A = this chain, B = another copy of it.
Amino acid sequence: MAESALKKKENGRGTRATDAEETRFNILEVATAEFADKGLSGARIDEIAERTNSSKRMIYYYFGSKEGLYRAVLERAYTAVREVDADNRRDDLDPDAALRDVVGVTFDYHNQHPEFVRLVMNENILRGAHVGEVPGIRERNRKVIDQLRAILARGVASGHFREGVDPVELHMTISALCFYNVSNRYTFSFGFERDMSSPKALARRRMSVIDVIESWCRA
């Protein structure tokens, strides 16, 4: 991305190749926003092209089709998540703190990346038609679950956690709580006065989610 562009620029001058990479990146950025905003069928490639520094011609040149672009966007988004939770080694924390940390980080990530949430929502509406072709999801999920399993095991050993909590169920529960909070913003808050989108409400929710998970696992 930007680094390699810089590198090229240092080497020579503003070259074609540099522009190309930049263009690709730019298109991907714009397309991500657009697909996250309107979904695959709702997004218009003419509109994407317009917001780009480039043109529709280039979209087809680089990505072949609307779906190709969509797939690239999806892949990029998933790659970004993977990079986030890849580094998190929580072996130094005690099980309880580690679990709370996992939940907190997950909650925050979802909140800070609604585009990702929306992309996933859309993918589910499409019945996961494209997600299968995105590599890396399997490993990512397995990694998270392995990590949870380890935390649970340590917790059981230390007497903090009870036995019988399935790591997959735990992962799903955490995901559900963090995801829903972002995904169903618009339909959920209807019906009570409390403003669910205020920072205050968000903090409260965050605490609740951590609390829910913790009390479920606690011995």
Contacts and interface: CB of A to CB of B under 8 A. Distances in A.
Interface of A: 38-42, 118, 120-128, 131-132, 137-142, 145, 166, 168-169, 172-173, 175-177, 179-181, 183-188, 190-192, 194, 204-205, 208-209, 211-212, 215-216, 218
Contacts of A205: 169, 172
Given A39-B42, A124-B186, A216-B216, 7 more contacts: A125-B125, A128-B187, A138-B192, A169-B204, A180-B180, A212-B216, A215-B216
A121 B186 CA distance: 10
Q: Which 3 A/B pairs are nearest by Cβ-Cβ distance? A: A141-B191, A128-B186, A176-B180
Copies of this chain per assembly:
2
Contact of A137 (B145, B184, B191, B204): B191
